[in-house]
Every structure is written in C-alpha cells, then in structure tokens.
Amino acid sequence: QVQVVESGGGLVQAGGSLRLSCTASGLTFDDHAMGWFRQAPGKEREGVSCIRWNGGSMDYIESVKGRFTISRDNAKNTLSLQMDKLKPEDTAMYYCAAHRHAHCMGFSDPRNYDYWGQGTQVTVSS
C-alpha cells in the first residue's frame, strides 16, 4: 500500500521561510518524478513544482521561481520544498504527489499524478 505523508507546514509571517517534507512508502520512489501542489480555499489545485526521478531537472510555476527550491533524497524516499520570502498569497494546503512517470511531463496537471498525501497547511500572515 502506497503512503505519502507531508509535514512541515505552519504559520509564518510574510518574508519568512518554511521547509516542507514528504515521505513516500510502498512504491519504488526513484521510478517517479515528484511534485508539490497547493490549493487555497475556493481555488483549483495548482502545481507548484516538480523534480525528475534523479533530481536532475526541476520545474516551478512562475510565481515561486527564485523563492522555492524543490529537492529529493532517493536513499530516504523523501521530497522537500524549501520556501523562502513567503507571501500571503502562498497561503494554501500543500500536497506532495508521485508522478506516474520518471519525468515531469505536464507537471502542473494533477491528472498526471497517481499518489497523493493528505496535505499540510501553510499560512502566511501579512
């Protein structure tokens, strides 16, 4: 049984930092690209970032480029998202997901991901 578990969310002031972590089990971790999504109340789920199976390539949505950094440790089956210079508009539930492929094809489309975590809340106060 595949399990994906996120951690590290919380409340932070604008300009601050948070580091999200995700652990996946029950799957061959390095067979999958891994992604982070977020969903704010009343909005659609949005693809934030994706990293190739070997960490050799990363994709980001424009609004987080230069502020967020995605990374993975295949030896530990973990995925991370370092979020710096946070803004109130980054407030959302953040989800970790395993892509159905090893590369981040169509990374922003949730339909390309097979396994999801339950999410961790990030709240940025102004």
What's the pLDDT score for residue 64? 98
How do residues 85-113 score in pLDDT, each as one tens digit?
999 999 999 999 999 999 999 999 999 99
What's the pLDDT score for residue 35? 98
What's the pLDDT score for residue 2? 97
How do residues 48-92 score in pLDDT, each as one tens digit?
999 999 999 999 999 999 999 999 999 999 999 999 999 999 999
Burial 27-40 (b: 16+ CB within 10 A, else e): bebbebbbbbbbee
